[in-house]
């Protein structure tokens, strides 16, 4: 099993829809979790950090399920500008070098 796994998608959703992605991790000792957004041919940009059960920022909600070892990202009222690839990152403990990135989930919001 990969350390961090994401469904590559693409998820094609209409504007205004709610969409959710999951990211599973294999190391139960993982301590902190992150979602990054990456636009085509650009760098990843930090979207949200998840240190406890969850975090909310406007239309975006991240949740952590330690029992099932996954984090989720929920996007409400999708905008065309939300189209991007969403990467999750998991700190497996022991420093920055233990942060593992998933390969990303591609979201395409359709007019």
Partner 1 sequence: NAGVTQTPKFQVLKTGQSMTLQCAQDMNHEYMSWYRQDPGMGLRLIHYSVGAGITDQGEVPNGYNVSRSTTEDFPLRLLSAAPSQTSVYFCASGLAGRYEQYFGPGTRLTVT
- Kindly tell me the burial class for residue 7, based on how many C-beta atoms sit within 10 Å of its own C-beta (0-12, 13-18, 19 or more): middle
Residue (36 or 78) nearer to partner 1, CB: 36
- Residue 45 or 79: the one with the smaller Cβ distance to partner 1 is 45
Q: Which residues pair with 11 in a beta bridge?
A: 107
**Any residues with CB less than 8 A from the CB of 10 and at least 6 apart, and which?**
106, 107, 108
Cβ at position 32, least distance to partner 1 in Å: 5
Binding mask 68-107 for partner 1 (x = CB under 8 A): -------------------x-x-x---xxx-x-xxxx---
Contact between 32 and partner 1 (CB under 8 A)?
yes
């Amino acid at each position: 099993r990969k350390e961090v796994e994401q469904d590559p998608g693409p998820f094609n959703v209409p504007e205004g829809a709610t969409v959710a992605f999951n990211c599973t991790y294999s190391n139960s000792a993982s301590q902190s979790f992150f979602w990054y957004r990456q636009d085509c041919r650009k760098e990843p940009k930090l979207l949200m950090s998840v240190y406890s059960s969850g975090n909310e920022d406007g239309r975006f909600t991240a949740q952590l399920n330690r029992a099932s070892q996954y984090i989720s990202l929920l996007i409400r009222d999708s905008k065309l500008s939300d189209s991007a690839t969403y990467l999750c990152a998991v700190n497996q403990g022991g420093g920055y070098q233990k942060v593992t990135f998933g390969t990303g989930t591609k979201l395409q919001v359709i007019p």
